Chains A and B, each alone.
Chain A
């Protein structure tokens, strides 16, 4: 609960003006009372209301500044009549009142223009900007009246106050990388594929990749879901990227890369996975010299050697990788294993070092007689490495040598395990079984509906509510598994149902391979012991989650090695933020965030998406488009990409479902 003077935020009317402090009503929203460290905010104003923290604030000026921020946003838009002209009329009138030249009828004009904007604007920003302004006119009528009646300037008119604004959207806020989703979708609607890609790459360089294999948390924040179904945000991202690669266009950057600075500053990045590549990209765009050290002979990290070709074709991923390596200040060293000693050297030599080595150790299933040296026991990471190195790079040998006509059991329930079983099918395994402790619903929630079903169609047998108790071998060769069965027992106290072993329900599976894909851990050997790097309770590298510096000065971490096994989009976000912090740190030695990043964190705390909000001005019932997939028999014996992506028209139709839920938020400090 937060103490505010006044608030209309999300319909919660709080008015503590002229009330004794002990009678103050508190707000239930996480409003940004403090802007940064010890800098308090005076007011917060946004799409769903206004909150005042400083009793003395000039609300006429506040309203006027908010309208001005909208004008600044329009600098990037201005693409509908009410937004282009209406917003300017609104600002001109508020400025006139604040200047002390307003007339009573100006308030009426503001109301009239607000109504037109609310009813007819193209995007939510135009529809919502008038809302808090009208709130202020209603609840702070006296301040407006004073300016008009006395023809006096509002009290802070012309004074040096600071207002910081940020444009967001529910989907943007929900996306870890804060990709400007409405922008890339709008560009698709306009069939300007290049503009679409360029909008994506502002915060997401791996557009070919995250248009294919992102679990799309953004779609959980899509307002369209309040109406019918969320937009197929993830797959739409692919269109712009594929346009670039299909037409062999020259690289489409979000802005023109800066000239190499050549100022002697340089940054080292350990690992060329999504995190390393993304950090290199944003540092490279700024002209900062970056050296990437990669242990494997190939670039791309786990997405290259872990995600199979049929989900993420390497030709497409390579485009994202080349986008980064094409930058003149980015240099890559492959086959370059960094150990603790080497890391010490690098840390000394470079102005900053970013760890992005991922989490590539397969965890055990914790069964009896579980030994990694047993023949037939094969960690998921090692197995996928081998599959992918062969199919994508012709390194090593085909895994069908091992798996053909064999029975394979995988223990897991996440993306990695689905990759394992689907690869096993493609390598010719006779029988492929997935053992999962929980149920079908959970596996779908942890992965995607499509992927789970595709695995089923391809012939993977799923055994739910089961876990391996013991591994039986003969002469160190895996023979069979003894498996426990579980059931869900409801908690009598109303808590989460608990998994309970069913006694006497054990069964055996004869198999040739057991592939544990329960989770991954990071290889901490790289961290010099004497640095005593602080770790999280789940044994990943600890940072404050804002600037991504580790406990060692100048050593940053991003991606799975920081967070634990997580998504590509999370790694990209962390790396981009780290790159931004590093780009300042190497010159100032200080860890700072820019206003955009500070506001980004404020809005994430406040939460932008409101699942209870009623949608106005759109008709429900337009079906979400589903892209074409290869038929089971067309895909299960090869590595062709399963998802063919949207056709042009499907993409446009899907893009036209997007409601452009842009919002603008502003803090006065």
Chain B
């Protein structure tokens, strides 16, 4: 982009032609007031507070939207500007309810702040008021009398979340924001509420509980999926007598990043342990000493994973992590074939892509914030999005340009077909070229039941596109042929225009896979850390010895953007922690976070103290939290194989998936995100299983007998049902099976 020179308030600045005056000013620490500006979306231009003057130009220019032009001499402050800005603030104050004393936003309200900044101390204009109402939108409510129509909520709902269900209902002074799809599929992500500069959008549960300024902010990371979004727990002592602290809410750096509903509203899952249970602690030590296998879930910090590794070594036990094992196999095979330890893409790169394939994931549920980045690409890059999955997801049909339905189990075939269609063969070795030429597309397309035309159309779909991203999800990690799939995907990343973005199956599966040497299973006495075992340490509070939940811990996680990011303890934990056990076994340290700097450097970690990890974003919203994991290079060997036959999934097939708003047993403990687990299926599924809507049904998944109410969802197609696991307790982390399975459904009673 062309460089231009501008002068703002006497300061000469070099910048590029695509920057707005406001962006350039902010980069140079020049203050221009705004009420409707939100960094992560395109300029809104509603408040008009950011007007500036340009030398030689009549009138006032809107700095948030106007881009700099060469030689412009800009004045951000003058008497005339001040006067108009004050007038605008006076207009905002017209009939704004004088309820700051009890308003949820008081103390952190932009309107309050700017009213004070512009010294609006009297009402020189008046307006006949009208009756306005408060609407309940589920977790949050909308009070139109407090709304200043800045439209930030509308923008994020459309541009970031991709739903576009909030709209301005025009009407001049009567204008309000409406939620056009309240009845269906509002995913309660709370993005709209997070960006509201006033008290118009507020969490019902938070209202009248505290003043915002009394809350202590603890910056941390969301652990519920591998997006690892930035968040802050906001904490306060419960009362005068009760010195215990409580998390009142979660906030985030909404100017730059976003959160999903689970991350924002599922915060109160802490393990309430009141004291150290010395007797049980001794039992735990004994259990570890005799353990032959240590089982755990990958909802665990890197430091604890390292501790478990040390303990396992000490007591000579094997490490089993069911929810990360398949992924660790994937990662090893990928590295070997790719010659690189990690995939190349990030969420930011995804949002800048114009050709996207989503493969092996029900993306809006598995990783809602990844879905947000797809939405950004859809809106901003006019991206073509191909969604390949056995089950279509109508909730994101406005983002998807092409849906390709394949048979469950045929991921390997699909990956091969992608390779064949998109490979730049001239760069390949002769062997690989021969292999790719020999791929029996007819056979594969027949088995996966997609037509050859559909595959050819893929190429057309992406005609003339520039930035390709292939998003790969959790369906492949427990596929029987995961290693071959990993190799094919490695070949795709190497020999096509696609960059890969892999979504690890659980919060820190990537960290765990890098740190620990996992085995699939091992016989003998087992100790479980947040996993079912003979002796169980559980943060859910249902084990032999309690452990801190992740909102009570310090440590680090590795995100799918390959960043090592810090977690801080929102709440204190009063019981014993893993480090105490490690200390008793002679492998611990003073604090768990002493191990941050000891994370394996040969896996890409850096020897950095926990306390020097920062939480920050660039002016353009680049995630600069913690540090970026180094990608380790090695020799690349690609030897692929083609399946002889593909598994078939006939009859009643269930798919393991948790809804975005309640992804795991921890969120199911939180007040706002817990829900009833239902088996949600199609009409065909119902008739194949001979059940009807509302029936209580029983079935078996991976040795667990499950009983649920069955619901029909008319938007689903095929003979499928979606089965959540968030109500299964620790068992939810011990389901090392391919996500689709054929089950026998029994109607109870």
Contact = CB atoms under 8 A, between A and B. Distances in A.
A649 B175 contact: no
Interface string A71-83: 1001111111111
Contacts of A74: 170-173, 175
A115 B51 CA distance: 14
Interface stretch (A164-172, A242-250, A540-548): A242-250
Q: Which of A74, A191, A614, A630 has the most C-beta atoms of chain B within 10 angstroms of its own C-beta?
A: A191
Given A78-B172, A116-B88, A192-B158, A621 B70 contact: yes
B464 A648 contact: no
Contacts of A619: 54, 57, 61, 66, 69, 72
Interface stretch (B120-128, B192-200, B623-631, B734-742): B120-128
Contacts, number: 173
B397 interface: yes
Contacts of A374: none
A83 B91 CA distance: 10
A122 B45 contact: yes
B381 A192 contact: no
B42 A652 contact: yes
B563 to A, nearest CB: 26
Interface string B10-44: 00000000100000000000000001000000110
Interface in B394-414: 397-401
B57 A191 contact: no
A651 interface: yes
Contacts of A446: none
A82 B88 contact: yes
Given A192-B164, A619-B66, A619-B72, A75 B92 contact: no
Contacts of B58: 614, 616-617
Contacts of A80: 45-48
Interface string A51-82: 00000000000000000000100111111111
B587 to A, nearest CB: 53
Contact of B61 (A76, A85, A618): A618
A149 interface: no
A371 B80 CA distance: 75
B171 to A, nearest CB: 5
Interface string A641-659: 0001011110111001000
A150 B379 CA distance: 59
A656 B125 contact: no
A620 interface: yes
B171 A81 contact: no
Given A116-B88, A652-B42, A77 B66 contact: no
A552 interface: no
Given A89-B127, A119-B59, A648 B91 contact: no
A564 interface: no
Q: Which of B66, B92, B125, B167 has the most C-beta atoms of chain A within 10 angstroms of its own C-beta?
A: B125
A14 interface: no
Chain B binding surface SS class? loop
Contacts of A648: 354, 379-383
Contacts of B35: 81
Contacts of B66: 618-619
A651 B51 contact: no
A89 B158 contact: no
A92 B48 contact: no
B168 interface: yes
Interface string A510-550: 00000000000000000000000000000000000000000
Nearest to A122: B45
Contacts of A109: 124-125
Contacts of A85: 91-92, 94, 125, 127, 173
Interface size of A as a range: 35 or more
Q: Which of B80, B91, B463 has the most C-beta atoms of chain A within 10 angstroms of its own C-beta?
A: B91
Contacts of B62: 617
Nearest to B400: A247
A191 B46 contact: no
Interface in B359-382: 379-382
Given A92-B127, A122-B45, A622 B67 contact: yes
Interface in A607-641: 614, 616-622, 628, 630, 640
Nearest to A118: B59
Contacts of A122: 45-46, 48
Interface in A90-122: 92, 109, 112-113, 115-116, 119-122
B601 interface: no
B314 interface: no
A87 B61 contact: no
A77 B397 CA distance: 29
B149 A84 contact: yes
B155 interface: yes
Given A122-B48, A619-B69, A652 B171 contact: no
Interface in B72-119: 72, 80, 84, 87-88, 91-92, 94
Given A119-B59, A191-B379, A647 B354 contact: yes
Given A80-B47, A617-B59, A89 B380 contact: no
A194 B84 CA distance: 35
Nearest to B460: A640
Contacts of A121: 48
Contacts of A86: 91
A438 interface: no
Contacts of B47: 80-81
Given A191-B159, A652-B42, A79 B382 contact: no
A79 B149 contact: yes
B408 to A, nearest CB: 24
Nearest to B379: A191
B671 interface: no
A242 to B, nearest CB: 8
Given A80-B45, A247-B400, A92 B379 contact: no
A247 B170 contact: no
A497 B577 CA distance: 95
B125 A652 contact: no
A315 to B, nearest CB: 11
Interface of B: 18, 35, 42-43, 45-49, 51, 54, 57-62, 65-67, 69-70, 72, 80, 84, 87-88, 91-92, 94, 124-128, 148-149, 151, 154-155, 158-159, 164, 167-168, 170-175, 354, 379-384, 397-401, 463-464
27 contacts: A75-B170, A79-B46, A79-B170, A80-B48, A81-B148, A82-B88, A84-B173, A84-B175, A85-B92, A85-B94, A87-B172, A89-B125, A109-B125, A113-B125, A115-B84, A120-B60, A190-B155, A191-B158, A192-B158, A242-B382, A246-B384, A247-B401, A617-B59, A618-B61, A622-B69, A647-B381, A653-B18
Interface of A: 71, 74-89, 92, 109, 112-113, 115-116, 119-122, 189-195, 239, 242, 246-249, 614, 616-622, 628, 630, 640, 644, 646-649, 651-653, 656
Counting from the closest, the 3 A-B pairs by CB-CB distance are A74-B172, A617-B59, A616-B59
